[in-house]
Amino acid sequence: MTANYQNYVDGAWTDTEAAETFETTDPSAPDEVVATYQQSTVEDANTAVEAAAATQSEWANTPAPERGAILREAGSILADRKDRLTELLTREEGKTHAEAGGEVQRAIDIFYYYAEKTRDLGGSVKSASGPRTNLYTVSEPVGVTALITPWNYPIAIPAWKLAPALATGNAVVLNPASVAPGVALELFKALDEAGLPDGAANVVTGPGSTVGDAIITHDDVDAVSFTGSGEVGHMVYDKATDDGKRVQTELGGKNPTVVSDSADVEEAAEIVASGAFGVTGQACTACSRAIVHTDVYDEFVDAVVAEAESIEIGPGDEYDMGPQVTESELEGTLDYIDVAQKEGATLETGGGQPEGERFEDGYYVEPTVFSDVENDYRIAQEEVFGPVLAVIEVEDYEQGVEAANDVQYGLSASIVTDDHTEAERFVREVEAGVAKINAKTTGLELHVPFGGFKQSSSETWREQGDAGIDFYTIEKTVYDTF
């Protein structure tokens, strides 16, 4: 059954002024239409920003615990609909049922978390140098905020931008990626039913080059939060900062796991395979490089190949790994596989589209492992965004960290080791915003900061936890001698 979605602007579900729509399809069965959406225009985007601006003052002046109560109720509504949202996410984006369910639960938890954080919002009291002076700070919302989100975590990422923005009193406009926007729009259904004031949150679907550009450059927008590709993210950053807006960008990754000679090789292979092939490798924190000590290199290659070959591929409601989200994403992955072989890497397993009746229509690719990869190969330097792992051999720990850092990105990194000194050095020396010990590069806690170094981020503001609140608030210092 095909769903039909409208934009949500100023508390009402509306069609685009252009009366044009677009469709999404199931990546495991591309002939099946999942939903229809509004192909919005600049005028639609401007209307949404104007609605947010008109409501900004009222929403900012709403007591924070009252804002929190709305977020809490929205979270409860999402929880009641978890099964249906999980199915929608699986059909539209291609994740397995378990992965989709975990992502929906993450969105629910984020709404609950920031609902409770509203009770702690405020400023701080300081000691004044002179008599009869009260010295304190007041935390205020930044203002109207534009949110641009990607397709690979289509409910979790909108949730971790929306929830702290609304909790702190900012009115927002969201432009979700057109590949899989359905679950993001379901967030707005929950907020609407929870009693969110008209105009406090608005969502407009359509191409980022039109809708997204209009909202980030609108004069009434005060802050921009973007997650997506590096190329687009840098353009967003430049446009927004040129206008003096506060900007937060989270971009790509080329995430390594260093495997020490002291590591349990079977455990290391499980950790790396989970990080590399989970969510079909379509995560900015996915492990795409295993940097392995020469003493355990051959054993590790055999073990990680066995892990890859044990993965069952198919539609997300039944199998271990689903399809890539679109034909273009699949083609991009296959192109990188071809480049890796031409560069001289050894294809150990995978490398193509699986054969069989259930794979005839979907955008499937095999979990792929390359060995004999040099760190200057494109497969070791560029983000692939598919289930492709490059295995790189190093002589010692120092070479391992050097290789880990020798990329333009710095989002997530891990080490598998039984040596405490190596683990402590790795945390200090790796150039990444997330460092993990004996764990996969993917998977994030919602109450701690998330963000990258180098080209993985604007390196301005972090997301999630208290850092998420920091981006959406600004401090005012008060000297009271009344």
Q: What pLDDT digit, counting tens, does each position of 401-440 carry?
A: 999 999 999 999 999 999 999 999 999 999 999 999 999 9
Are the C-beta atoms of 248 and 471 separated by less than 8 Å?
Answer: yes
Q: Report how far residue 361's alpha carbon sits from residue 344's, in angstroms, rounded to the nearest whole number.
A: 31
Residue 39's pLDDT band (boundaries 50, 70, 90)?
very high
Q: Where are the beta strands (DSSP E) in 434-482?
A: 434-437, 453-454, 473-480
pLDDT at 178 exceeding the cut of 80: yes
Residue 310's pLDDT band (boundaries 50, 70, 90)?
very high
If you average pLDDT over residues 251-261, what whole number do you get?
97
pLDDT at 1 exceeding the cut of 80: no
Per-residue tokens: 244: 């003096």
Tens of pLDDT along 194-211?
999 999 999 999 999 999
Q: Report how far residue 234's alpha carbon sits from residue 255's, in angstroms, rounded to the nearest whole number.
A: 20
If you average pLDDT over residues 19-40, what whole number do you get?
97
pLDDT at 119 exceeding the cut of 80: yes
Q: What is the CA radius of gyration of the chain?
A: 23
pLDDT at 261 exceeding the cut of 90: yes
Examine the residue annotation and report whether 287 is marked as an active-site residue of this protein.
no
Q: What is the pLDDT of residue 2?
A: 85
- Burial code (b: 16+ CB inside 10 Å, e: under 16) for 60-92 equals beeebeebbebbbbbbbbbbebeeebbbbbbbb
Q: What is the pLDDT of residue 160?
A: 97
Please state, for a pLDDT cut of 90, what percent of the chain lies above it. 96
Helix, strand, coil percentages, rounded to 5, for the chain: 40, 25, 35
If you average pLDDT over residues 282-309, what whole number do you get?
98
Residue 34's pLDDT band (boundaries 50, 70, 90)?
very high
Categorise residue 134: left if φ over 0, alpha if ψ from -120 to 50, beta otherwise: beta
CATH 3.40.309.10 residue ranges for the chain: 255-437
Selecting among 156, 184, 284, 384, the annotated active-site residue is 284
Q: What is the pLDDT of residue 115?
A: 98
Q: What is the pLDDT of residue 17?
A: 85
Tell me if the pTM is above 0.85: yes
Are the C-beta atoms of 158 and 170 separated by less than 8 Å?
Answer: no
Please state, for a pLDDT cut of 70, what percent of the chain lies above it. 100
Q: Report how far residue 203's alpha carbon sits from residue 237's, in angstroms, rounded to the nearest whole number.
A: 21
- Residue 227 CA, chain-centre distance (Å), reads 6
Q: Report how far residue 379's alpha carbon sits from residue 178's, in angstroms, rounded to the nearest whole number.
A: 28
Q: What's the mean per-residue pLDDT of the chain? A: 97
CATH 3.40.605.10 residue ranges for the chain: 3-251+457-480
User: Thinking of the domain 3-251+457-480, which architecture would CATH place it in?
Assistant: 3-Layer(aba) Sandwich (3.40)
Q: Report how far residue 158's alpha carbon sits from residue 127's, in angstroms, rounded to the nearest whole number.
A: 40
Q: Where are the beta strands (DSSP E) in 158-302?
A: 172-176, 201-203, 223-227, 246-250, 255-259, 287-293
Are the C-beta atoms of 372 and 383 separated by less than 8 Å?
Answer: no
The CATH code of the domain at 255-437 is 3.40.309.10
Tens of pLDDT along 339-382?
999 999 999 999 999 999 999 899 999 999 999 999 999 999 99
What is the pairing mode between strands 3-4 and 29-38? parallel
If you average pLDDT over residues 30-45, what whole number do you get?
97
If you average pLDDT over residues 88-95, what whole number do you get?
97
Are the C-beta atoms of 189 and 161 separated by less than 8 Å?
Answer: no
